[in-house]
Chain A
Amino acid sequence: MWQRRAGWAGLALAAVAAFIAVPPALVRSAAPSIVLAGLAVALGAFAATRERKLGIGAIVLAILAIVGSVAATKSGESNLRDVFTWSALIASMLRFATPLLFAALGGIMSERSGVVNIGLEGMMLMGAFFGIYGSDLLGTWVGGLAVALVAGGLLALVHAVFSISLRADQIVSGTAVNFLALGITGYIFIADYGDTGTPDNISRVPDVHIAFLGDNSFLGDAVGHANLMTWLALLLVPFLTFVLFRTRRGLRLRAVGEKPRAADTVGINVFRTRYVAVTLSGMLAALGGAYLSVGFVGSFSQNMTEGRGFIALAAVIFGKWKPAGALVATLLFGFSSALANRLPTFSASTAVLFQALPYILTLIAVAGVIGRSRAPASDGIPYVKE
């Protein structure tokens, strides 16, 4: 029991040690951070006698805090203030997390029902292109999102037909879907928009301006101008948690992903459940892609998702196949990207390394170092009805 408390205290101390080196506290000497982090190491070592993972986690975080704070005290004060403007960092984190969160929630739906979805990347790309296409064609972003939903759903349906009905290998089918999405979106993009690119006057999903937070307050800068789709994604987390873990439909979906034979025996339609889950998964991923195009930049370029579908897949695993876990993972990954985006003010090259962070963390997570993440039992196995 004491070991456990010590482990958490170590983690907290390590976090404080890192925090005081950057604005607003901005202690211009590494000594206090090193003392705090040293304490954290000691607590972690004590915790490791019982709670091994927690203790090691605290020690690792403390060492990172020492490295970080030494680096911070060595770099210029104004640079630090530029990077660590917390309200702007939070706003940026939410922007980066939104598309990932949509796609990760989609991934959870599909994988919870027992279908591995490597095709998230392609489904996002479909949403990104057809969001713009629909918005351009119908003149409103609502139309854009509707077209994106249909396009993502259709591509997911292809994955569903092959992996559920035809019992194809789901990894291969997902890979195929990614190639197809690249080809389809690229082909129509070049054929319809050619060299000029998508028009400038695309109707975009509006930002929600929360006036009472004030325009120059911390909260106002952080969340006062977040996009409508960001709020939608955040609301989907409790909603999907409720659906998956508190409703009959959710129980059935999870049953199909864990023990399809048993689910079938009690009269649940395994095939239909999986079809619905995979199609919804594609629609959610498409919303994530649409956020990138109609939500954020207002244009499309070929392969604009650039591997975000795979980060979303990483978030599914890192978040242990739970919506709340995916939220934490995507916020963490989003924060990492936000830092990568702001760090170039003093080092372009280290900033790039933050892009790799989500993948490294996930690799560590699947290796079971920080708590084992376990997939649904029948994830990836086609179901054969007897």
Chain B
Amino acid sequence: MTDPEVVDPVAAEDITTPAARLASYIRGGGVVVPLLTALIAFFIAGLVVLVTGHNPLTTYNAIFNGTGLNWLFPWTSGADRTAAALNLQQTLIATTPLILVGLAVAFAFRAGLFNIGGQGQYTVGAIVAVYFGSKFGGMPHVLHIVLVLVLACIGGAIWAGIAGLLKATTGANEVISTIMLNWIAIWTGVWLFGLGGPLQNPDTPSVPISSDVTQSAKLPVFWGNPQLQGLHIGLFISLATVVAFWFLLNRSTTGYEVRAVGFNPEAARYSGMSVARNYVRVMAYCGVFAGLAGGLDILGWQFRIATNDVLTSDIGFLGIAVALLGRNTASGTVAAALLFGALKSGTSQRNLDPSIFDPSLATNLTLIIQGLIVLIVSTDVIALRLLRHARGLRRGRAAPPPAPEEAPT
């Protein structure tokens, strides 16, 4: 990570697209700013809990125990440890797709694009996965899984590629087109698996749900009981994708072009890169990440989609929060996904102790925390100012502001 002060917000004004400017702000603050951001959000949400007549400390403690992260403490033992293991499996199951949808948003950010379409790409990936996962029952295990996941990636890539293609050919704003594609994907899902829909489970004509994924396509569970929704190997696929993301972005020609276009499209065009082709390529990669997330959720623990799942899922939207808090970097995305995954499972009906705090209240508290985090990240001015103020006091404001790295052309 570069020195936080190198990216000066004033110099960043010269970068042309808003998303690029945002991305450069966000890379500038190191680890401290995201941590501070999360702390501020948790603090304000704690005030909400306090004002509504609950004890924020016991509430947060109950949520923490709900996440199962106390499993990591060696002094957790006996029944607590068993419960913590179950909860931690849930947290990591939730984290797995969040990492990937976070990457889907982060990759676009690095190219100066804003991918709000994670939800749609995730949905398309899930639809493709449930279709091919419920077919070809006799296939060898590994082959079937690989086939389904590859097809889910392609599905997501095509869906996101539409937005990239529209931007490249007609200049259509990708924010608007990805939002529209989200809802088209969602309603397509409702249509496919709804009553009388073409992919509705033929055995249950009165239930709007898809067919089940066959045994041969289910991901193996490596921790916990498969009957109790143990942790599936999708987590490792997800983490491997993070490594691939890092190499793609930082060590490949594609990544270099992506970052160059994101930093300054005019300069990139001048140096001979095809900005239009790059838009399509970047969006397609984003779709691969988000589509894979949908595929892993289906093969890992959902095994089927009900129309209600399609309508209420918010994983893709959360990807925006994950990418922003993770500063669009590989490691940051993993950390942010773990935070949001933990929040999601820690406040769920299944994991939170209802005698301490009502889980249906807590899920809304999670939404408030997410909103606050995104809001604070959206400017970074608050956290950066606090940070600069602290640094300025320490250095006695002696050092002159460093010159921007690149002179604006």
Contacts and interface: CB of A to CB of B under 8 A. Distances in A.
Interface of A: 116, 118, 158, 162-163, 166-173, 175-184, 186-187, 190-191, 302, 306-307, 310-311, 313-314, 317, 347-350, 352-353, 355-356, 359-360, 362-363, 366-368, 375, 380-381, 384
A187 B59 CA distance: 15
Nearest to B120: A359
A171 B175 contact: yes
Interface string B208-233: 00000000000000000000000000
Interface stretch (B91-99, B195-203, B259-267): B195-203
Contacts of B239: none
Q: Which of B52, B190, B369, B378 has the most CB of A within 10 A?
A: B378
A169 to B, nearest CB: 4
A190 B364 contact: yes
Interface string B328-345: 000000000000000000
Contact of B317 (A173, A175, A180): A175
Q: What is the interface residue range for chain B against chain A?
A: 35 or more
18 contacts: A162-B379, A166-B382, A167-B379, A171-B18, A176-B374, A179-B370, A179-B374, A180-B371, A181-B371, A183-B370, A184-B368, A352-B194, A356-B191, A359-B180, A363-B166, A363-B177, A368-B170, A368-B171
A183 B187 contact: no
B378 A173 contact: yes
Given A314-B179, A347-B196, 4 more contacts: A176-B372, A176-B378, A183-B364, A352-B197
Contacts, number: 165
A310 B179 contact: yes
Contacts of B377: 172
Contacts of B80: none
Contacts of A355: 187, 190
B207 interface: no
B146 interface: no
Contact of B187 (A158, A167, A176, A352): A352
Contacts of B184: 356, 359-360, 363
B116 interface: yes
B69 interface: no
A366 B49 CA distance: 43
A209 to B, nearest CB: 35
Given A347-B196, A356-B184, A359-B183, A162 B375 contact: yes
B374 A169 contact: no
Which applies to chain B's interface (DSSP): helix, strand, loop or mixed?
helix
Given A162-B378, A166-B382, A182 B191 contact: no
B180 A362 contact: yes
Contacts of B324: 172
B173 to A, nearest CB: 7
A87 B317 CA distance: 39
Contact of B188 (A116, A163, A191, A356): A356
Contacts of A350: 191
A167 B368 CA distance: 22
Given A175-B317, A182-B364, A348-B195, A363 B181 contact: yes
B374 A368 contact: no
A366 B172 contact: yes
Contacts of B371: 176-183
B176 A381 contact: no
B63 interface: no
B35 interface: no
Nearest to B22: A169
Contacts of B195: 348-349
Contacts of B366: 183
A177 B195 CA distance: 34
Contact of B172 (A170, A181, A306, A367): A367
A381 B368 contact: no
B352 to A, nearest CB: 13
B22 A172 contact: yes
A384 B13 contact: yes
Interface stretch (B70-78, B247-255, B355-363): B355-363
Contacts of A163: 378
B321 A179 contact: yes
Q: Which 3 A-B pairs have the closest CB atoms?
A: A183-B367, A180-B371, A179-B371
B142 interface: no
A349 B173 contact: no
A191 B361 contact: yes
Contacts of B181: 359, 363
A169 B367 contact: no
A173 B375 contact: yes
Contact of A187 (B48, B175, B374): B48
A310 B116 CA distance: 12
Nearest to A354: B187
Contacts of A367: 166, 170, 172, 177
A313 B363 contact: no
Interface string B28-62: 00000000000000000000100010000000000
A381 to B, nearest CB: 7
Given A169-B18, A347-B196, A366-B177, A186 B381 contact: no
Contacts of A186: 363-364, 367
B11 interface: no
A136 B195 CA distance: 37
B7 interface: no
Q: Which of B116, B187, B381 has the most CB of A within 10 A?
A: B187
Given A183-B364, A349-B195, A384-B13, A356 B187 contact: yes
B116 A180 contact: no
